[in-house]
A = this chain, B = another copy of it.
Amino acid sequence: MRFFSDNAAAVCPEVMEALAAANALDTAYDGDRWSQRLDGVFSDLFETQVTALWVATGTAANSLALAALCPPWGSIVCHRDAHIQNDECGAPEFYTNGAKLLLGEGEGAKLTPETVRGLVSGIRKDVHQVQPAAISITNATEYGLVYTPDEVAALGDLARSHGLALHMDGARFANAVVRLGCSVADVTWRAGVDALSFGFAKNGGMSAEVLIFFGETHRQATLYRRKRAGHLLSKGRFMAAQVLAMLENDVWLRNARAANDAAARLAAAAGDRLVLPVEANEVFLRVTAQEAQALRDQGFDFYDWGVGEARLVTSWDSDVQAVDRLAAAISAL
C-alpha cells in the first residue's frame, strides 16, 4: 500500500470515461469544443471572468503564471520549501528568463505578511537589485496546511500595497477548498490572487492542470508562451475533457474529500506524533527509524522526511481498509 504521493495515484473513472467520449475527430490544439468551454466553465465556478488554459503539468502552470507576473529582473517571494523552489529544476527561472526566487521561512511552508514584508523591505529600489514583483503561495502547502481566505487576503493586501502580484500554486487546491468549505472565489481573486495553478493530476486526473488568470490581462502573452514552451498539445480535447469531467458533479471535490478524510483518519491515530496539524491530505509523523521499518514491514510505503519523520500522502483512491490498517499500525507503534 503506497502512501508516497498523490501524483502517482490512479485516474478516476469519470476521467477515463471522458477520454473515451472525447475520442472523435475535432479541431486541433485548443480549438475543439471541449477546450472552448473552459473559460466559461471556470468563470462560472469562480463567479468572475477568468482565462482558463490547460497545461500538462503543475510546473508548466506555475512557470507560465510566474512568467506573466514577473519580469526577468524581478523576484518572486515564496517559501523556502515551495515546490517552485525545490521541485521544478529551475523552471520558473527558465520561463521568466532569469527572475529570482526570494525565500522566506514559516511554519508548515506558510508565508505570513510579516515574513514577506521583511523580505521585501530589505530590497533597495535601485537598478542594482532585482525588484520584487510577485508573491507565490501554495494552498494547500507542501506540508498540507491551508491558507484561509483571510490569510490569503492579508497577503493580497500586502501585495497590492507593494505593487506585487499574487500567485497561488494550487496543486492541491481541491484539498484546500474541501477543508476550508469556502467558495473558490473567496480564497482566490476576492482575496487578491491574480493567477492560480489549479491542480487536477494529483486529484484523479491523468495529465491536465489548469492555469487560471483572473481577468484577461495575461491571456494573450500566455497563449504565446504556452505554445513556444511546447505545451499546446495537438489533441487538446483530451486535456479539456479531463478537467470538464472532474468539474461536473463536483467530482474534484468528492475526490479531494476522500483524500482528506483518509488523512484525517491517519491523523486521529497519530496523536502527538503529528509534526503538523493535518488539514489536507498529507500527514507528517514523528517516527524512529525502527518504527518506520515496522510500518514498512507491514506493507506500508512512504517517504522518510529528514531524520525522525515520515510523510504519508493519501489520495482520492486511497483504499479505506488499507488506511484503517495503517491507522491501527500507527496507533500500535
Contacts and interface: CB of A to CB of B under 8 A. Distances in A.
Interface of A: 2, 4-5, 7-11, 16, 19-20, 23-28, 32, 55-61, 63, 71-73, 86-91, 93-101, 127-131, 201-202, 206-207, 221, 223-235, 238-239, 317
A228 B28 contact: no
A53 to B, nearest CB: 11
A238 B205 CA distance: 11
A93 B99 contact: yes
A232 B57 contact: yes
A228 B55 contact: no
Q: Is the interface of A mostly helix, strand, loop or mixed?
A: loop
A87 B207 CA distance: 24
B73 A225 contact: yes
Contact of A7 (B10, B28, B130, B223): B28
Given A23-B11, A23-B16, A207-B238, A127 B230 contact: no
Given A73-B90, A229-B230, 14 more contacts: A5-B28, A7-B234, A16-B19, A63-B230, A72-B94, A72-B228, A88-B128, A89-B129, A90-B98, A93-B93, A93-B99, A128-B227, A201-B234, A207-B238
A232 B57 CA distance: 7
Contact of A55 (B7, B91, B230): B230
Contacts of A224: 71, 73, 89, 127, 131
B87 A57 contact: no
A71 B67 CA distance: 12
B7 A235 contact: yes
A23 B8 contact: no
A201 B237 CA distance: 13
A213 to B, nearest CB: 16
22 contacts: A4-B27, A10-B24, A10-B25, A11-B238, A16-B19, A56-B231, A59-B230, A60-B230, A71-B224, A72-B94, A73-B89, A73-B228, A90-B98, A90-B99, A91-B227, A93-B228, A94-B97, A94-B229, A201-B234, A207-B233, A207-B235, A229-B230
